[in-house]
Structure 1
């Protein structure tokens, strides 16, 4: 998984990018006779695009990709994107109900992030988080910063490369002597190492809380048979089951 760089998402399709990736890796390659990819998911999930004459919202070093397979409606930049509800419905429909999406929201803390990542992934869940990137750490901090964080020593938060609403995957937990880090997989390979970077749980909690007037959350995507077990993990951690409003005019509310 770490040796090969993944493909970069198309502009504004981070949610559909991750939905398509999860579906394909679970063995679902077609939906109603159409090949599953980020474009198909976007068209079925109600994704809206910002006006084409605007500046693309990309991290430094990324190349704009707008070769969409479908015509998609537009909305003002602050209202464009893909909703959690639209993404959930698309994933569950494309899988014929074999996959369930458990939407997670609430008062995020470092402890709740640690618990969700460690316990839900053990049940086979893929965790797609809808965050504000500006609250994250730099994707390539000095190794001394990571070591100090794991050792529980005070560190200065290195600011992230860009600041937008975004979907990422929370892959696994790396534990140190006093603290932990979460392996994050981004849809832009220019970030971190082929799109993978490390973030403290407390920093991810802040990115999910956003503090920009919008809401964040996590979609836990899991085999139907394990959905109740994931719900039990979520409620035991003191988090809520439910979708969130991240400010889009798409099918419900969405993000880039």
Structure 2
């Protein structure tokens, strides 16, 4: 897969971070883990803090986004986090819980006082359209890609590095699949790309430290594409970069619209 990427911050692992991606990952890791039921708020908070907007917490983002908490579900080994500052609404029915993507986008705009915008992108996800969208974001000053995914479609968060390197060389994804399958979907951040001779890995910044290396794991682009089926991403950028994101979506064959 030809990258078309000329710049970007490259680290020693071969990950080429999206603009501001290294800072985004560091900010997210410092906040780990998400509070129970606040995966969307966790990702939104990381995007806000990475843009220099401090003084907020997960509760503030959740309240602004209209989050409704449901029964807590954690990955194996995680005990959860319940240090809530605000009395967020709680329901017993998992189907009635969660955060609407449109609500999260509104929260980013309001909490940043209009300095940031969150552009929704959805459509027919293919490995090519996802890759092209990310490449199209390379010239913005900074970006946080918040992905609403079906976590069951991802590969194992502890896939051995040797298997990932083999995938980069051959394009054949590892067979290990995720053992954590959160009901109702999940929110993560897409922060970087690692390109091999035949395969492409995306650096996923997750919401629990046990998922990957302190919350960061590389996933074959095929698995992330499958996880996005019927869903989409919120692309958080400086407000004056709104048009760049919409054009990147158009070029990738995607649509800048909400899906929830």
Give me the TM-score of the superposition, normalised by structure 1. Answer: 0.85
Contact persistence 2:168–2:199 (CA under 8 A): yes
Partner of residue 52, structure 2: 27
Aligned positions of 1:1-256 closer than 5 A: 1=22, 5-6=29-30, 7-29=32-54, 35-50=55-70, 54=71, 56-75=72-91, 76-123=93-140, 124-164=142-182, 165-209=185-229, 215-245=230-260
| Unmatched segments (≥5 aa) in structure 1 | 30-34, 210-214, 246-256
Structure 2 vs 1, CA of residues 3 and 107 (structure 1 numbering), >3 Å: closer, same or farther? closer
Deviation readout 1:193-231 (Å, 9 max, x if unpaired): 11110111111010011xxxxx42100000011110111
Give the paired residue count: 231
Structure 2 vs 1, CA of residues 193 and 63 (structure 1 numbering), >3 Å: closer, same or farther? same
Q: Secondary structure at the match of 2:175?
A: coil
Give me the TM-score of the superposition, normalised by structure 2. Answer: 0.84
* Cα distance in 1 for residues equivalent to 2:213 and 2:139: 24
Contact persistence 1:108–1:208 (CA under 8 A): yes
* Cα distance in 2 for residues equivalent to 1:219 and 1:144: 32
Contact persistence 2:155–2:174 (CA under 8 A): no
* Cα distance in 1 for residues equivalent to 2:215 and 2:77: 12
| Unmatched segments (≥5 aa) in structure 2 | 1-21
Contact persistence 2:148–2:231 (CA under 8 A): yes
* Cα distance in 2 for residues equivalent to 1:114 and 1:24: 25
Q: Secondary structure at the match of 2:228?
A: helix
* Cα distance in 1 for residues equivalent to 2:75 and 2:259: 25
Computed over aligned residues only, the root mean square deviation of the Cα atoms, in angstroms, reads 1.7
